[in-house]
């Protein structure tokens, strides 16, 4: 499973990319607002940091404007994935833009039926929001499993990009189900490495090493 980092903070992306943990980046209007940056400028910087797909989201809701914004965003760099909402106009825009050879990430997916339509429209990625489903007492992981089964049944090439991830457990579970990508906030991505028994074991090894009086260098 690939890891995308869900942020528009350039410093965070650069640090994680140095560790080889970033296969791509996802942004959205809320993350752009949080960054306080111009969308075109910050997206260009992010695209220069990572080789993989960088999702940049349109803000238009009408077909013609979506397509125009998508084309403008795609001019930023070759690795831009145009992010479109899962609406009728969004699906039409997806068909047009993928037909032009552009990557498209269809976002705000909350049902398997929606994911089926996105795949039929030629989406490169589908972004089911598992955390937001959990927030309303539905199991977001069930949605990932349903989409995986449907896509496998019919050989759809659209990649499942598990989004709205809130915890380490979410990451582990979507990997077990077979999501192609998890887009993860920086804090959750860092938390994947931590375990109390790892910390305790390292502490014991270092204490025992100190008692030997030896040095490697």
Report the 10 Å Cβ neighbour count for 95: 14
Length of the chain: 217
| Residues facing 3 on adjacent strands | 182
| pLDDT score recorded for residue 94 | 98
pLDDT tier for residue 55 given thresholds of 50, 70 and 90: very high
Mean pLDDT value of segment 205-212: 96
Task: Classify residue 158 by its DSSP letter.
Answer: P
| pLDDT score recorded for residue 124 | 98
Distance CA 51, CA 87 (A): 29
Query: Helical H runs in the chain?
Result: 10-18, 29-35, 39-49, 63-74, 88-99, 112-120, 130-135, 140-154, 168-177, 186-191, 196-212
Mean pLDDT value of segment 103-116: 98
pLDDT tier for residue 179 given thresholds of 50, 70 and 90: very high
**Can you tell me whether residue 138 is helix, strand or coil?**
coil
Q: What percent of the chain has pLDDT over 70?
A: 100
- The architecture of the domain spanning 2-191 is Alpha-Beta Barrel (3.20)
Distance CA 99, CA 217 (A): 58
pLDDT tens profile 68-103: 999 999 999 999 999 999 999 999 999 999 999 999
| pLDDT score recorded for residue 164 | 97
Q: What is the pTM of this model?
A: 0.95
pLDDT tens profile 152-170: 999 999 999 999 999 999 9
| pLDDT score recorded for residue 117 | 98
| pLDDT score recorded for residue 128 | 98
Q: Is 198 exposed, middle or buried (0-12, 13-18, 19+ CB in 10 A)?
A: exposed
Annotated active-site residue in 83, 92, 159, 176: 83
pLDDT tier for residue 47 given thresholds of 50, 70 and 90: very high
pLDDT tier for residue 172 given thresholds of 50, 70 and 90: very high
Q: Domain-by-domain residue ranges, the chain?
A: 2-191
Mean pLDDT (the chain) is 97
> Known catalytic residue: 83?
yes
Report the 10 Å Cβ neighbour count for 130: 26
């Amino acid at each position: 499973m690939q890891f995308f980092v869900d942020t528009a903070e350039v410093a965070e992306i650069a640090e994680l990319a140095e560790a080889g943990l970033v296969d791509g980046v996802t942004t959205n209007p809320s993350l752009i607002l949080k960054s306080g940056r111009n969308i075109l400028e910050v997206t260009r910087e992010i695209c220069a940091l990572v080789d993989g797909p960088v999702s940049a989201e349109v803000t238009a809701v009408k077909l013609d404007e979506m397509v125009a914004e998508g084309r403008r965003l795609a001019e930023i760099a070759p690795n831009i994935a145009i992010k479109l909402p899962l609406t009728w106009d969004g699906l039409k825009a997806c068909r047009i833009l993928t037909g032009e050879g552009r990557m498209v990430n269809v976002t705000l997916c909350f049902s398997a039926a929606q994911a089926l339509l996105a795949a039929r429209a030629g989406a490169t990625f589908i972004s089911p929001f598992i955390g937001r489903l959990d927030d309303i007492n539905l199991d977001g992981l069930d949605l990932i499993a349903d989409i995986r089964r449907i896509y496998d049944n019919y050989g759809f090439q659209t990649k499942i990009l598990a989004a709205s991830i809130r915890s380490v457990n979410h990451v582990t579970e979507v990997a077990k189900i077979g999501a192609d990508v998890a887009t993860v906030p920086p804090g959750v991505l860092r938390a994947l490495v931590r375990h109390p028994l790892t910390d305790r074991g390292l502490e014991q090894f270092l204490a025992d090493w100190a008692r030997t009086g030896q040095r490697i260098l």
